Amino acid sequence: MKKAAAAAAIRHVPDGCVVGVGSGSTSNFFIAELGAIQHRIRGAVASSEATARRLKNLGIAVLDLNSVEELPVYVDGADEVTRQLAMIKGGGGALTREKIVAAVARRFVCIADQFKLVDVLGKFPLPVEVVPMARAYVSRELVRLGGSPEMRKDFTTDNGNVILDVHKLSIRAPAELEGALNQIVGVVTNGLFARRAADVLLLGTERGVQTFER
């Protein structure tokens, strides 16, 4: 189902463009598909070091986001996604770079299997990237917001920070919570993608790929 969703995303990649590429197992299927049509694109912007390595291994040019004027499309997976196309991301810890690339992209195409579709976000623990010296303070603030944060063990992000995975949140107003979390000093990014939600969801299901659009 992940592979089918990834394959369907290729028709959202315009000829001659630079494409933003996400991280995780679904994105890895997309990278493989991109390898097959690499003659049609100028190159890619990667949302993680791991994705950059995979792209380079296939011979796809990896460009610095700062050198790119236009990013027509960003393709990435999600840990949870609603029918309104708000998402939880960051299960792989790449949320900050993913959010930056998503912000620049004109269109966000989310690729996922049917198990990622939810009515209410929050069963999947919400990743929050935190500057290491602020870990204890941010944890206390997250508890005040009703969450139960757990430090991700033996993990450092590509940006040198730690991740707190926040359990027990039932997120009925994702855009508001995303904003509130961003206000906590020491938080670099949180894994809610509601203010910049996806534009298209390609959902791999038992009955084929379903498309949801905003």
- Tokens at residue 41, please? 């694109």
Shortest Å, Cβ 89 to ligand 5RP: 3
The residues that touch ligand 5RP, with contacts defined as CB under 6 A, are: 22-26, 76-79, 89-95, 98
Handedness of CA 97, 100, 106, 110 (dihedral sign): positive
Catalytic residue among 98, 129, 141, 178: 98
Distances (CA, A) of 87 to 33, 35, 117, 212: 23, 27, 9, 13
Rounded Cα gap, residues 80 and 86, in angstroms: 8
Cβ-based nearer residue to ligand 5RP, 40 or 152: 152
Shortest Å, Cβ 188 to ligand 5RP: 13
Rounded Cα gap, residues 26 and 125, in angstroms: 19
Shortest Å, Cβ 192 to ligand 5RP: 11
β-strand 73-76 against 107-113: which pairing, if any? parallel
* Helices H / strands E in the chain, number of each: 6, 13
**174 with 192: CB under 8 angstroms?**
yes
Q: Which of 92, 85, 124 is nearest to 210 (CA)?
A: 85
Rounded Cα gap, residues 11 and 40, in angstroms: 12
Shortest Å, Cβ 76 to ligand 5RP: 5
Is position 98 annotated as part of the catalytic site?
A: yes
Shortest Å, Cβ 92 to ligand 5RP: 3
Residue type, 70: E
Q: Which residues are catalytic?
A: 98
